[in-house]
């Protein structure tokens, strides 16, 4: 018995047909109170908050550190119904967004706490008991920082404002950052390799992708669109047309470390070879499992290897998948769920085994191979090493950081700022403090 929420798998603005699905998260009935709030986290919708947490500038330009908690006014909290559930809230009702963002965080934690084998302990526990989930509609980003998860909106050229509070992928990705900090710890100053930053983004994307694969509709859609021929869809970069799911589209990429040896600008781009390798591993394990279950023949699998370059073979392979999927679609679902859980477990075990200082992609690859050895006697060693090798992971390394993406790197620094870091900021004069307190309740 848990607590019910209505969650969009695909935000309504990405797919007009999408409607929220009712899911039950693990929270005991009645344990989630108005906010929503529980003993781990709470949602607030601040009134009069003008800037995001992190490093901001005062009215006279002095930088200052701005951290949770929000102590000003808030909008009316979202209320549970008499059973303790939040699924009575519909998308247009006040409180829906707050319930939605809470439900997405809890859903993602449920998935990953199972893989990790224990509840997440927040990395900011020394200063905050609970995570503040804060909604700041006029801000164009989302971030996980010390004690807070803050979500803004995407501002479209046509004037539409798309709230990230309704975007499962974005929220689950930010939860991914919290999971990494919790399991891995925060690196010591000066020990962050560029690939550590890329790893954060890649792993957070995988957290989001694998969490989304726990919605039955995501599995059903992907299989219905491809009839289980994920392998070829991935090799031919077909997910861009097949998959309605954005996280799958971006995980299915061809980038390698060779592109970053001479320098990199943005850790989100740098993360793509690693995300792509992990996604390819998932697809290969799925494919192997179809053969092992007798759902497709070894001959078709061999043919699929050449289908990338041979249109006739491609047609034959797709026909074989169409027939096999029609015969036993449940078997395909089971194979994909198994592949998802193998990769989820391997990533969680990898996370426990890694250390944050001087971490690079090669460490991730070696650790995952060791996890595979321990978990299954190296059953997937060939798949894992082949996919990392194809991306140049462990052999080629990210070069220097090419400046020019200050905005994004600024966001990154906000993530690891600690309350004590305020000592490193210049002292703000009384007049500026006064102006600041007048211009916003953001103190």
Per CB under 5 A, residues contacting Zn ion are: 201, 204
CB 2 → Zn ion: shortest distance, Å? Answer: 28
- Beta-bridge partner residues of 54: 66
Q: Which is nearer to Zn ion, 204 or 387 (CB)?
A: 204
Q: Which is nearer to Zn ion, 141 or 234 (CB)?
A: 141
Measured CA to CA, the distance from residue 204 to residue 186 in angstroms comes to 15
**Is beta strand 21-25 parallel, antiparallel or unpaired with respect to 3-7?**
antiparallel
CB 161 → Zn ion: shortest distance, Å? Answer: 21
Measured CA to CA, the distance from residue 138 to residue 51 in angstroms comes to 9
Asked if 2 contacts 27 with a C-beta cutoff of 8 angstroms, the reply is yes
Q: Which is nearer to Zn ion, 397 or 412 (CB)?
A: 412
Measured CA to CA, the distance from residue 66 to residue 114 in angstroms comes to 34
**Is beta strand 131-135 parallel, antiparallel or unpaired with respect to 41-44?**
parallel
Q: 412 to each of 76, 183, 198, 201, 248, how far by Cα in Å? A: 31, 19, 11, 10, 24
CB 192 → Zn ion: shortest distance, Å? Answer: 15
Q: Which is nearer to Zn ion, 134 or 204 (CB)?
A: 204
CB 442 → Zn ion: shortest distance, Å? Answer: 23
Q: Which is nearer to Zn ion, 105 or 369 (CB)?
A: 105
Q: Which is nearer to Zn ion, 207 or 230 (CB)?
A: 207
CB 201 → Zn ion: shortest distance, Å? Answer: 5
Q: Which is nearer to Zn ion, 192 or 201 (CB)?
A: 201
Q: Which is nearer to Zn ion, 134 or 229 (CB)?
A: 134
CB 28 → Zn ion: shortest distance, Å? Answer: 31
Q: Which residues, in sequence order, are CB contacts of 76 under 8 Å at separation 6+?
A: 94, 95
CB 365 → Zn ion: shortest distance, Å? Answer: 21
Q: Which is nearer to Zn ion, 201 or 225 (CB)?
A: 201
Asked if 363 contacts 393 with a C-beta cutoff of 8 angstroms, the reply is no
CB 179 → Zn ion: shortest distance, Å? Answer: 12
Measured CA to CA, the distance from residue 308 to residue 48 in angstroms comes to 55
φ and ψ of 74, to 5 deg = -135, 160
Q: Which long-range contacts (CB under 8 A, 24 or more apart) does 310-315 make?
A: 314/232, 314/236
Q: Which is nearer to Zn ion, 168 or 332 (CB)?
A: 168
CB 300 → Zn ion: shortest distance, Å? Answer: 38
CB 172 → Zn ion: shortest distance, Å? Answer: 11
Measured CA to CA, the distance from residue 93 to residue 91 in angstroms comes to 6
CB 34 → Zn ion: shortest distance, Å? Answer: 30
Q: Which is nearer to Zn ion, 32 or 133 (CB)?
A: 133
């Amino acid at each position: 018995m848990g607590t019910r929420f209505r969650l969009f798998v695909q935000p309504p603005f990405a797919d007009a047909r999408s409607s929220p699905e009712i899911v039950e998260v693990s929270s005991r009935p009645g344990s989630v109170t108005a906010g929503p709030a529980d003993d781990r986290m709470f949602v607030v919708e601040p009134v009069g908050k003008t800037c995001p947490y992190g490093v901001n500038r005062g009215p006279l330009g002095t930088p200052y550190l701005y951290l949770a908690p929000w102590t000003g006014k808030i909008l009316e909290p979202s209320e549970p119904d008499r059973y303790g559930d939040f699924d009575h809230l519909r998308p247009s009702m006040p409180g829906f967004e707050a319930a939605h963002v809470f439900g997405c965080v809890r859903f993602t934690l449920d998935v990953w706490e199972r893989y990790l084998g224990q509840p997440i302990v927040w990395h900011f526990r020394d200063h905050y008991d609970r995570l503040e989930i804060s909604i700041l509609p006029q801000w164009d980003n989302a971030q996980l920082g010390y004690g807070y998860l803050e979500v803004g909106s995407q501002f479209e050229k046509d004037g539409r404002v798309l709230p990230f509070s309704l975007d499962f992928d974005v929220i689950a990705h930010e939860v991914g950052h919290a999971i990494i900090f919790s399991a891995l710890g925060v690196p010591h100053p000066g020990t962050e390799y560029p690939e550590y930053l890329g790893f954060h983004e890649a792993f957070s994307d995988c957290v989001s992708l694998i969490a989304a694969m726990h919605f039955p509709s995501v599995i059903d859609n992907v299989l219905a669109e491809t009839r289980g021929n994920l392998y070829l869809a991935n090799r031919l970069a077909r997910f861009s047309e097949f998959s309605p799911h954005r996280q799958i589209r971006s995980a299915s990429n061809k980038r390698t470390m060779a592109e970053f040896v001479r320098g990199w600008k943005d850790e989100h781009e740098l993360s793509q070879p690693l995300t792509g390798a992990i996604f390819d591993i998932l697809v290969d394990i799925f494919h192997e499992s179809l053969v092992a279950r007798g759902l497709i023949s070894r001959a078709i699998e061999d043919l699929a290897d050449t289908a990338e370059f041979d249109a006739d073979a491609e047609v034959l392979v797709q026909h074989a998948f169409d027939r096999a999927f029609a015969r036993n679609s449940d078997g395909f679902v089971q194979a994909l769920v198994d592949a998802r859980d193998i990769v989820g477990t391997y990533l969680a075990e990898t996370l426990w085994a890694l250390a944050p200082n001087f971490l690079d992609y090669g460490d991730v690859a070696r650790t995952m191979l060791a996890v595979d050895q321990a978990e299954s006697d190296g059953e997937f060693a060939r798949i894992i090493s082949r996919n990392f090798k194809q991306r140049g992971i462990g052999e080629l390394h990210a070069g220097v950081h090419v400046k020019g993406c200050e905005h994004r790197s600024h966001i990154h620094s906000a993530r690891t700022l600690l309350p004590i870091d305020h000592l490193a900021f210049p002292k703000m004069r009384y007049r500026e403090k006064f102006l600041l307190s007048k211009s916003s309740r953001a103190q």
